[in-house]
Chain A
Amino acid sequence: MSEEEDDKKPFLSKKFDKFFTGLANAWSFVRRFFSEVFLPPYEFKEIIHQCYRIGVESLPLISLTGFIVGIVFTNQSRPSLTEFGAASWLPSLISIAVVRAMGPLVTALIAAGKVGSSIGAEIGSMKVTEQIDAMEVSATNPFKFLVVSRVLATTLMIPLLVMYTDFVALMGSFLSVNANEKVSMSTFFVQVFESITFLDIFSSVLKSILFGFTIGIVGCYKGYNSNKGTEGVGQAANSAVVISMFLIFIEELLVLQVVNAIRGM
């Protein structure tokens, strides 16, 4: 084998090389975000526009899903608790489950599907139709306008959406508890707030910020690096959702370990 052919041979295998190159590219993309986020010019108008799109336009879907999750989880938990004569614990159980895990997870997964795919497809389509190049040649930083604004918007809006989902899910749960156990709203919410601690809320907000950042940065990265025309746009949207969801579960697991360690101290 000639020396030239040997040089062209991938170090491990094509897939491994592609994986590690992709990882390195993603890391430099994240680093670029942090190096540009604090520097002027600030695209406030675009950030607000994206916050509106990500936050307000997601409200109907989040409301419906959160409400259904609250009702379903309450109805599924009731038989088991009733069996042990602990039906009165329903508000406590639901509040802990919703605030600690279900609210952030459900919101993040829905946002990954709705927002992540839309960011990936939008930026991907701008890339293949040379709109990003057009911004660059008009002396505008497309990274700042497209990426920084969207990542900031998801990082800010997902925690707010999570709080909203928690509220809507608890309202759904209250309706079910009220209809079956005849518990008043004040009694229900007193039990809810007695059960959750500051650490629960802190971990929920921390997770939501992480989830929001992940959804934004993955969607932007996939869109910004898409190629192969319209096929590439589809792939960008698809992989933005798949990778975001995968990372969300990993982050959930990691934060859970940290919070449990703190709880045990």
Chain B
Amino acid sequence: MEDKVVEIKGLKKAFGDLKVLQGVDLDLHKRENLVVLGKSGSGKSVLIKIMVGLLRQDAGMMKVLGQEVSTLNTKALNALRLKIGFSFQNSALYDSMTVRENMEFPLVRNVKNLTRGEITHKIEELLDSVGLPQSINQMPSELSGGQKKRIGVARTLILNPEIMLYDEPTAGLDPITCSEINNLINEVRERYNTSSIVITHDLTCAKDTGDRMAVLLDGQFKSIGSFDEVFTNADDQRVKSFYDYNFIQS
């Protein structure tokens, strides 16, 4: 299919004796928000780290924007990385730099011939879009968890990515901030025409942001479909308990 931006087939990854991914198949379509759910340590983050070449698979295929990631040389991999935005679980803001410097960092290294004014304009525009225009000169240590997440997302958007990868975007945040982050994920898709993979074990986030859900259990996707398809008629007891825990607890 032409609208597939990510194509994964038979992907395997192990760390020593620990087999994390055991033949994963998955597709991400253009302008789709796909949510990957699973227990902690089930290999969700490993999957997206293979996607950006931070880890290498042991077997199987990982095609991103038509290119097999494991066969790319450094130059080609970097060119591909510019089209992928990666929002880290703990935001990964450079803590020795201000918000402005954090956002400048990827921009000045990858886009040549930008004037000072153009850089500032781009940064201000993105900070505005994540609702934090006043934070431009703050240090990461002065920001709250939710603000850090937003700045992290803004930093990845500065290179106009086609695909966004969100690693646990709502982990450790209060319900109101979680809801703001969920809205931001949807806004990013609308405004920047991105396709997204959202890694989470927060079902509220999954329901609010995802077009499709994929549940990773025992190193494979056990069920893929809309939220209702996956959870309403779940056969697997673990998928059911995932739903029960999230919604009964809340």
Contacts and interface: CB of A to CB of B under 8 A. Distances in A.
Interface of A: 41, 122, 125-126, 129-131, 133-140
Interface string B75-91: 00011011010101110
Interface of B: 49, 52, 54, 78-79, 81-82, 84, 86, 88-90, 92-96, 105-106, 109-110, 155-156, 159
B81 A131 contact: no
B96 A122 contact: yes
Contacts, number: 55
B88 A138 contact: no
B84 A137 contact: yes
A138 B81 contact: yes
Residue of A122, A133, A139 with highest tally of chain B CB at under 10 A? A139
A103 B221 CA distance: 64
A68 to B, nearest CB: 32
Nearest to B159: A138
Given A136-B54, A137-B81, A138-B105, A129 B110 contact: no
Given A137-B84, A140-B106, 9 more contacts: A129-B90, A129-B92, A129-B95, A130-B89, A133-B86, A134-B86, A134-B88, A134-B92, A139-B81
A127 to B, nearest CB: 11
Contacts of B106: 138-140
Nearest to A134: B92
The 9 closest A-B pairs by CB, nearest first: A138-B106, A134-B92, A139-B78, A130-B92, A137-B86, A139-B81, A137-B52, A130-B88, A140-B109
A138 B54 contact: no
B77 to A, nearest CB: 8
A201 B109 CA distance: 41
A135 to B, nearest CB: 8
B88 to A, nearest CB: 5
Nearest to B75: A139
A129 B81 CA distance: 20
B94 A134 contact: yes
Nearest to B83: A139
Contacts of A131: 92-95
Contact of B105 (A130, A133, A140): A140
A130 B96 CA distance: 14
B50 to A, nearest CB: 12
Contacts of B86: 133-134, 137
Contacts of A126: 94-95
A137 B105 CA distance: 12
A75 to B, nearest CB: 42
A129 B167 CA distance: 13
A137 B55 CA distance: 11
Contacts of A136: 54, 81
A41 B52 contact: no
A135 B97 CA distance: 13
A141 B78 CA distance: 9
Q: Which of A41, A126, A140 has the most CB of B within 10 A?
A: A140
A131 B49 CA distance: 14
Contact of A139 (B90, B92, B96, B110): B110
A210 to B, nearest CB: 28
A168 B102 CA distance: 40
**Which of A125, A130, A134, A137 has the most chain B CB atoms inside 10 A of its CB?**
A137
A134 B54 CA distance: 10
A84 to B, nearest CB: 55
Contacts of A139: 78-79, 81-82, 106, 109-110
Nearest to A49: B96
